[in-house]
Chain A
């Protein structure tokens, strides 16, 4: 099959952003492979993130879509004070590059800003950083097998959930 093009990579990232921003979480989760590694490392010091999720702390680390389904269930349960009412978010994704592409797998890097308006506290915040994706072509589509989020402004104002990174 043809290797992933940058246009296809952008299409996938922009679609993912739209699904999160419009709270279409079931469709968002369907973009992941069942064994997805969803990882936002913590920072070890001023200049390096943690690198080994088994020996160092991450801000978020899940292996398996099942765990992200838990996160979405909590977000939409109406039982989480921090998630109700939901903040308004918009992701802007740029600098998309296909860094490796070989048949049915591909790696992408990109940068993001996510603006969040917390309606509960009437405050706006911006989170920004880089993405690294590993994609696999499965069941007729490109799916996300790994998503690494490098959050650059990591002093967390009260809460950061999977929807604002």
Chain B
């Protein structure tokens, strides 16, 4: 099946035009092609090595529609397998995570060790199998590609992909800003939160990078922040937002901006400053010593990072790791965790958790106003009188090739960048998503 990408993305930079067709969010054939070519045909984020610290630990996830198991073997090596018994196809590991020297299929008891090798085919000798069967490998199917970048684990169901380092490119330096917050790396705070929304997965992709919506979609939250600021007391949940003003419309001067990278990775960012409202504050001095002031200051910037297509690390009100799992053109599952530096103080961890719940949870005060807006978009996409959306034009004349003085501070070379005041709210960073989307739909690895 071939997708005519020009029907969905109208990219004419020389004419100052970039438009996306509403059908890209609703079309069943587009969704099928996205699953095959993007989620099941290239690098996707699987999880953190910190989720499987001990020998024989495993966790389960999905690459597109394919169930995946990431397992550490007895010697400590990590591998990723299709979480499916080669016998009848049954899902093998049934839980989100666990520890197993041996996986025994609950259907017919075929068994596999923690390196994915077949241990036993039940009653094989009595089974009157052909020689051809006996010569076959009965182990688990490994993901064709699997790599670990500083504890961030990625896999690909297609072997025909560039090395992970090439795929991440300069955006890897933004993962470094997460990984380097502690000498012992990062971990997921216990307690996973999963939610769904009835809209397309690319709405989550865009919203994470969307500075334009904050004061429009979250005025009720901003009202709460104002109330807390006026009545500051020990018992309220302190948020970094009320201690920062880069996002307020009256703020003047450069307060942040965006970077985009090849393969669809993007960042939008803003200056929070080195403030006690950020749980990392206790490490501000030691991080500057260890990594230099430039990199330390970047760790304290508001940062919303997308590693295309399914990983987002949002460091704003708190620190969130999100994995996007499309379930259909109009249904998406989000698995979310609080990501935190290993070894931070109990007080910092508590502050991080409180800020997280308040802002990020689907049971909190901000995320629902985003996801409900996605659902409103999904309903609105049926309006095809003019199918071309106008949401990709802000920042067109501010976007420049290469980096700027801020990316220079960590020696990072993005493909494009925008420096912004509080009202610019660049939309050109989405272009990177859709240019990667076009390339992948046309068959690029």
Contact = CB atoms under 8 A, between A and B. Distances in A.
Interface of A: 35, 40-46, 50, 53-64, 66-67, 70-71, 73-74, 77, 79-83, 120-121, 154-161, 165
Contact of B357 (A44, A58, A73, A158): A58
Closest 8 CB pairs of A and B: A57-B191, A42-B191, A64-B235, A82-B368, A159-B368, A80-B220, A156-B195, A79-B220
Contacts of B189: 55-57
Contacts of B190: 44, 50, 55-57
A159 B353 contact: no
B363 interface: yes
Counting contact residues on chain B (CB < 8 A from A), the size range is 35 or more
Contacts of A161: 363, 368
Given A62-B237, A77-B220, A82-B369, A157 B357 contact: no
Interface string B330-369: 0001000110000000100110011011000111110111
Interface stretch (B223-231, B287-295, B380-388, B399-407): B223-231
Contacts of A57: 189-193, 337-338, 353, 356-357
Contact of A81 (B96, B235, B372): B372
A69 B369 CA distance: 19
A82 B372 contact: yes
B241 to A, nearest CB: 13
B152 interface: no
A80 B346 CA distance: 33
Contact of B362 (A58, A74, A159): A159
Contact of A60 (B95, B350, B363, B368): B363
Contacts of A60: 357, 361, 363-364
Contacts of B158: none
B141 to A, nearest CB: 25
A66 B363 contact: no
Contacts of B227: 70, 73
B363 A59 contact: yes
Given A121-B198, A158-B362, A74 B220 contact: yes
Given A57-B353, A161-B363, A63 B235 contact: yes
Interface in B224-249: 224, 227-228, 233, 235-237
Contact of B193 (A42, A54, A62, A82): A42
Contact of B224 (A42, A61, A64, A73): A73
A160 B363 contact: yes
14 contacts: A42-B192, A45-B95, A45-B96, A57-B192, A60-B364, A64-B236, A66-B233, A71-B365, A74-B220, A80-B220, A80-B368, A154-B194, A156-B363, A165-B363
A162 B262 CA distance: 42
B212 to A, nearest CB: 15
Nearest to A42: B191
Contact of A70 (B97, B194, B224): B224
Given A57-B190, A67-B235, A70-B224, A157 B353 contact: no
Contacts of B236: 64, 66-67, 70
A84 to B, nearest CB: 9
Nearest to B196: A157
Nearest to B235: A64
A158 B368 CA distance: 6
Contacts of B196: 155-158
Nearest to A123: B198
Contact of A158 (B95, B193, B198, B356): B198
